[in-house]
Amino acid sequence: MDSFKILSKEESKLQMQSKAFDEFLSKTGRIVERALDTEFDVVGDFFADEEEEEALYKKQKGDKIS
């Protein structure tokens, strides 16, 4: 199991001022904005696609066994 380190206030400030953190926050913000601007149910559609893929896989697996 991976461990994590709790940063001090000073370490946190340095991390938040880093270029990598800024890039991560910008990219993540754009993704969230796009998700909020969509007309479909992100979670519902994700699980629907997963169920369809699983059904297709089971059908293909069954066809190969026959």
pLDDT tier, 56 (very low <50, low <70, confident <90, very high otherwise): confident
Q: Identify the CA nearest to 31 among candidates 42, 16, 21, 18.
A: 42
> What confidence score (pLDDT) does residue 66 get?
44
d(CA 52, CA 46): 10
Is the pLDDT higher at 1 or at 16?
Answer: 16
Half-sphere exposure of 6 (CA within 13 A, CB side): 0
Q: What tokens does 51 get?
A: 């169920």
pLDDT over 90, % of the chain: 36
